[in-house]
Amino acid sequence: MNKRILTGDRPTGKLHIGHYFGSLKNRVKLQNEYETYIEIADVQALTDNFNNPEKVRNNVREVVLDYLSVGIDPKKSTIFLQSMIPEIAELTVFYSNLVTIARLQRNPTVKTEIAQKKELFGESVTYGFLGYPVSQAADITAFNAELIPVGEDQLPLIEQCREIVRKFNSIYGETLLEPEAVLSNNKRIKGLDGNEKMGKSLGNALYLSDSDEEITKKVMSAVTDPNRIKKDDLGNPNICMVAYYHALFNKENHKTVCEECKAGKRGCVACKRELIEKIKEELTPIREKRKYYEDRPELVDEIFVTGTEKARKVAKETMKKVKKAMKLDYFE
Ligand code: ATP
Ligand code: MG
């Protein structure tokens, strides 16, 4: 049997080009070689959106549409909803004994995210948010996944999962698989504002479903070299987000773009216009495919329900093994 992959996204917004270059393109390729499970992590999304259930609910469908629009094939990949798999919640409770609060507080990703969410959490973070790496370890192990394709921000979470697996196996006997992270070549796509990470919750994203007008508006106001005022000023493409996105959407001309910018031979407006055209070229077929599925809601429902049922069966099998190992196998 092929190795199993687990990936997923939080339904906190539509998917953006960070997801596209950082993970979706990779997933579309990997689904041909591996048994792929893709989780819409709505329970995890609630950890920092507990006060906004509508947002999470509405974005579940948006994320499924984004998957289908980029070429995730439901015949090859199992798309499922986290909250419909109660075994994940059950595993989370068992694993919570195997990790200390200090260890969670030291997790660099959790640390950064708590700092970004001061407005929501104030001085004291919730138990649920601090513990989301434990729940993520349950997501991964429920499906016996060996490979986890993720962006760079997820590495500390995979490491934490590996520790939980080792601890579980050493106490209760060899039961769980230790997963491995797989990084794509674009492990962290920067935001339109120059932030190190484009993120749905950071307000700096270019979405796969953005209209031509939105693309134009966003690229026109993206962060560029602040010292470059006139066309013939010598530019620094290393601090310009437009040059940065040329490397993704206009790979063949990226070198020329940078050379002309440095030599003061390329105006920022023309440079932005060229990028906008390239982005439209790449995103138009994706948006068309999205429209196809938007017009067929029953088809999307069917894909989602079938995927969730299939995933639940796998999680139930894992649960049986885990309960047996933990001496919790009382009766059916
Ligand atoms: P949020 O801001 O709500 O956390 P997000 O944009 O970080 O949303 P997630 O759903 O948390 O998106 O992440 C899903 C997957 O996409 C993860 O594997 C993550 O590493 C990857 N990813 C997210 N943003 C980027 C990015 N800018 N570059 C590369 N990969 C990314
Ligand atoms: Mg995130």
* 19-53 pLDDT per residue, tens: 999 989 999 999 999 999 999 999 999 999 999 99
Which percentage of the chain shows pLDDT scores above 90?
90
Distance 12 CA to ligand 2 centre (A): 9
Q: Is 26 in the pocket of ligand 1 (CB under 6 A)?
A: no
The fraction of the chain above a pLDDT of 70, given in percent, is 100
Q: How many whole angstroms from 295 Cα to the centroid of ligand 2?
A: 29
Summarised one tens digit per residue, pLDDT across range 260-291 is 999 999 999 999 999 999 999 999 999 999 99
Domain ranges, ordered by start, for the chain:
4-190+297-325, 210-291
Write the residue with the smallest CA distance to atom 16 of ligand 1: 19
Query: From the CA of 9, which ligand is nearest?
Result: 1
Closest of 24, 32, 99 to residue 63, by C-alpha: 24
State pTM to two decimals: 0.93
**Ligand 2 center to residue 53 CA distance, Å?**
17
**91-110: pLDDT as tens digits:** 999 999 999 999 999 999 99
- H-type helices in the chain, by residue range? 17-19, 25-30, 42-47, 53-70, 86-95, 101-106, 108-116, 118-121, 127-130, 132-142, 155-172, 212-220, 241-249, 254-262, 268-294, 297-325
Q: What is the pLDDT of residue 28?
A: 95
- Determine which residue's CA is closest to atom 14 belonging to ligand 1: 9
Say yes or no: CB of residue 9 within 6 Å of ligand 1.
yes
DSSP β-bridge partners for residue 35:
4
Pocket test for ligand 1, best of 20, 46, 190, 200 (most atoms within 8 A of CB): 200
Longest Cα pair distance anywhere in the chain, in angstroms? Answer: 78
Identical fold, 4-190+297-325 and 210-291: no
Kindly report the backbone phi and psi dihedral angles of residue 245, in degrees, each rounded to the nearest multiple of 5, phi listed first: -75, -25
Q: Which atom of ligand 1 is nearest to the CA of 152?
A: 20
The pLDDT of residue 1 is above 70: no
CA gap 101, 36 in Å, rounded: 32
Q: Which amino acid is at 183?
A: L
User: How is domain 4-190+297-325 classified at the CATH fold level?
Assistant: Rossmann fold (3.40.50)
Q: Does domain 210-291 have CATH number 1.10.240.10?
A: yes
Going across the sheet that includes 147-150, the strands are: 77-81, 35-40, 4-9, 147-150, 180-183
